[in-house]
Amino acid sequence: MITGIAHVCFRVADLERSISFYVDQLGLTPAFEFRRDDGTKFGQYIHAGGRNFIELFVGEIEPPSKGQSYGHICLEVDDMEATVAALRERGVEVTDIVVGSDHSAQAWLADPDGNRIELHAYNPQSKQTPYLK
């Protein structure tokens, strides 16, 4: 059965710029690279904590399916205020923190290609709390 989200994949315009954003600015850890037979790098796996990854591929790897809609990726954080402050110190534009309709704290940012990223912090009042292990 399904046990969680394994990864989210993004097609990016500039692979190194995107790696720098996720690693240097967001503070995530590079995991492994994808290289062609000639040695050129065309992708990167980024560890986002736990069993979660972000997969980056340069350019148009495959066309989106007709009607495909991508909304955003959501990254859980342990301390929303500290995380937002640290990201802003690294030059990341992050929205102010708000409480969503699920009663969880959230803030928003985007990667260099405009892919939306939600930061999410659970608390005892969060609607998700009864399902967290």
pLDDT in tens, 7-26: 888 889 899 999 999 999 99
Q: What is the pLDDT of residue 62?
A: 58
Q: What is the pLDDT of residue 29?
A: 94
Same domain (yes/no): 76, 133: yes
Q: How confident is the model at residue 41 (pLDDT cuts 50, 70, 90)?
A: very high
User: SS3 for 110?
Assistant: strand
Same domain (yes/no): 55, 109: no
The residue among 38, 59, 80 that closes a domain is: 59
| pLDDT, tens digit (0-9, with 9 covering 90-100), for 55-79 | 998 886 556 666 666 678 889 999 9
Q: Please give the span between the terminal C-alpha atoms of the chain, in angstroms, as a whole number.
A: 17
Same domain (yes/no): 7, 31: yes
Residue 15's CATH number: 3.10.180.10
Q: CA-CA distance, 14 to 12, in Å (whole number)?
A: 6
Looking at the domain assignment, is residue 67 inside a domain?
Answer: no
Cβ atoms of 29 and 19 within 8 Å: the answer is no
Statement: residue 5 has pLDDT above 70: yes
Q: What is the pLDDT of residue 101?
A: 86
CA distances (Å), 93 to each of 3, 46, 80, 109, in order?
A: 32, 21, 15, 6
- The number of distinct structural domains making up the chain is 2
**Residue 56 has which token pair?**
């980056």
Same domain (yes/no): 33, 87: no
The closest alpha carbon to 120, from 108, 133, 132, belongs to 108
| pLDDT, tens digit (0-9, with 9 covering 90-100), for 116-133 | 899 989 889 998 888 877
Q: CA-CA distance, 86 to 98, in Å (whole number)?
A: 17
Indicate the helix (H) or strand (E) that contains 82. Answer: helix 80-89
